[in-house]
Structures are given as C-alpha cells and as structure tokens.
C-alpha cells in the first residue's frame, strides 16, 4: 500500500465527513490550525481506517491523531499496514 493510496483514502474520507480538503497537503495538521477535526471526527477517521486497512488504534491514540499532519498520519498507517501479518499477500 503506497502512501499516495493512503493519502487519497484519507482525503476522500475527510470529504465524505464534510470537511473541506482545499489546500490540504502532507504538512496540514489533522487537528486545530489545519483540517480542524474534533475528537468525534478523529474517532470516525480512525474507524474508517481500521475498516479499510485492518489496522487498529487504541482509544488513547485518538488524541495523538489530532496532533499529526496528514503526512505523518499516512506514514504511521503505512508502517502499521506493512507490519500486518497478511501484508503483501
């Protein structure tokens, strides 16, 4: 799974969640001063990612997601996807 595919999924998810992605790039924070996802929206994004990619986020990680940029989030996802037992099959 490439970071481009992950980024596209995240941006599509944000659009479906009624967030504007105009001007959003890898350096845009997911939380305040960026996309401005609130805690419930961060949880929803986490659930969408879990369902799509099979990676799990702990409840206490939701706040951490809000401190990441889109690029950092994509890198974390790529790392977790690569470490899944079925990766590459």
Across the range 25-43, mean pLDDT stands at: 91
* CATH assignment at residue 68: 1.10.1200.10
- Asked, for residue 87, whether it belongs to a domain, the answer is no
**71 lies in which domain range?**
3-82
Average pLDDT over residues 27-32: 93
* Domain count within the chain: 1
The whole-angstrom separation of Cα 68 and Cα 31 is 7
Determine, yes or no, domain membership for 21: yes
Inside any domain, residue 56? yes
pTM to 2 decimal places: 0.85
In a domain, 37, yes or no: yes
Across all residues in the chain, what is the average pLDDT? 88
Say what the pLDDT of residue 14 is: 96
Most confident region among 22-26, 29-33, 36-40, 64-68 by mean pLDDT? 22-26
Query: Would residue 88 count as lying in a domain?
Result: no
Confidence at 16, pLDDT banded by 50, 70, 90 = very high
Burial state string for 13-23 with b = 16 or more CB within 10 A and e = fewer than 16: bbeeeebeeee
């Amino acid at each position: 799974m490439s970071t481009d595919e992950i980024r596209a999924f995240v941006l599509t998810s944000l659009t479906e969640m009624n967030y504007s992605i105009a001007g959003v790039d890898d350096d845009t924070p997911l939380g305040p001063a960026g996309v401005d996802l609130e805690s419930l929206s961060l949880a929803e994004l986490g659930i969408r990612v879990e369902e799509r990619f099979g990676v799990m986020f702990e409840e206490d990680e939701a706040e951490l997601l809000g401190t990441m940029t889109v690029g950092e989030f994509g890198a974390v996802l790529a790392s977790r996807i690569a470490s899944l037992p079925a990766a590459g099959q």
